[in-house]
């Protein structure tokens, strides 16, 4: 299965992606995770991406399109299918993805669109904590890890309040045309994201079992 998971920052994409990958065996491709890995490794691309990410801005399309294209061409994607998380985020990226997929002879099966009232997102993002080893996201109140401590978990730099607002503004402005692009192709499955994590996953599972 070849899937996109969409939703504003904090909608629950990463949380649900981890569960989808476990149940359906697809390859998780998160552009945000790829940028954070590049930053941690201090690659040239990582250092460039960091200048945008720290401000809550999007990394330029040509950089982002390049890393996704390269990743989608790898063998594991062909064998297992993929779940793209956090991409595309601009109309230009959506067009680049169409071209990449058709060049690679890959068909997109569905777009999981997680809808959450934007009023809840600041609270979700400001309480988000990440496991340093696995990269998985938890929440101090809504999804606390059993082994929480300040060494093994950290708060993302761009989840601090000053940056969160900018990220939400940028993403709200860009997201609608992209959803519309896939909706006209009949690929979008809207999922109610304002419910407990396990119920969101049940709704997603119902959709994916039909697509399989």
Q: Identify the active-site residue in 13, 124, 132, 140.
A: 13
Q: Where do we find the tokens 């990449």?
A: 100
Of residues 71, 82, 84, 86, which one binds ligand AMP by CB under 6 A? 86
Binding flag, residue 56, ligand ADP (CB under 6 A)? no
Q: Check the annotation: does 69 bind a ligand.
A: no
Q: Identify the active-site residue in 80, 89, 133, 185.
A: 89
Structure tokens at 104: 């690679």
Q: Which is nearer to ligand ADP, 187 or 197 (CB)?
A: 197
Query: CA-CA distance, 57 to 49, in Å (whole number)?
Result: 10
In whole angstroms, the minimum distance from the beta carbon of 52 to ligand ADP comes to 16
Binding flag, residue 29, ligand AMP (CB under 6 A)? no
In whole angstroms, the minimum distance from the beta carbon of 44 to ligand ADP comes to 26
Is residue 71 among the annotated active site residues? no
Query: CA-CA distance, 53 to 181, in Å (whole number)?
Result: 26
Is residue 132 among the annotated active site residues? no
Planar angle of CA 136, 159, 55, nearest 5 degrees:
125
In whole angstroms, the minimum distance from the beta carbon of 80 to ligand ADP comes to 21
Q: Where do we find the tokens 């990226």?
A: 93
In whole angstroms, the minimum distance from the beta carbon of 73 to ligand ADP comes to 24
- Tell which residue, 167, 178, 164, has the closest CA to residue 91: 178
Structure tokens at 185: 């192709």
Query: CA-CA distance, 204 to 136, in Å (whole number)?
Result: 19
Helix axes 61-72, 44-53, angle to 10 degrees: 130
Residues annotated in a binding site for AMP: 31, 36, 57-59, 86-89, 93, 156, 167
Catalytic residues: 13, 89, 128, 156, 167
The residues of the shown chain that bind ligand ADP, judged by CB under 6 A, are 7, 9-15, 124, 127-128, 137-139, 142-143, 193, 196-197, 200
């Amino acid at each position: 299965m070849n899937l996109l998971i969409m939703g504003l920052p904090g909608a629950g994409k990463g949380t649900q992606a981890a569960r989808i990958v476990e149940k359906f065996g697809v390859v998780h491709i998160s552009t945000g995770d790829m940028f954070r890995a590049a930053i941690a490794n201090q690659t040239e691309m990582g250092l460039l991406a960091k200048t945008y990410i720290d401000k809550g801005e999007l990394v330029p399309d040509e950089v982002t399109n390049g890393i996704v294209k390269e990743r989608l061409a790898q063998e594991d994607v062909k064998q297992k299918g993929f779940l793209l998380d956090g991409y595309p985020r601009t109309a230009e990226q959506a067009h680049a993805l169409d071209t990449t997929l058709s060049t690679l002879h890959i068909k997109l099966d569905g777009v999981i669109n997680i809808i959450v009232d934007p009023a809840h997102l600041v609270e979700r993002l400001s309480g988000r904590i990440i496991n340093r080893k696995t990269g998985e996201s938890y929440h101090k109140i809504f999804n606390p890890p059993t082994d929480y401590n300040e060494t093994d978990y950290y708060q993302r730099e761009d989840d601090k309040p000053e940056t969160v607002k900018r990220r939400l503004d940028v993403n709200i402005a860009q997201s609608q045309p992209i959803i519309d692009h896939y909706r006209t192709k009949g690929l979008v499955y809207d999922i109610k994201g304002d419910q407990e994590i396990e119920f969101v996953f049940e709704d997603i599972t119902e959709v994916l079992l039909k697509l399989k």
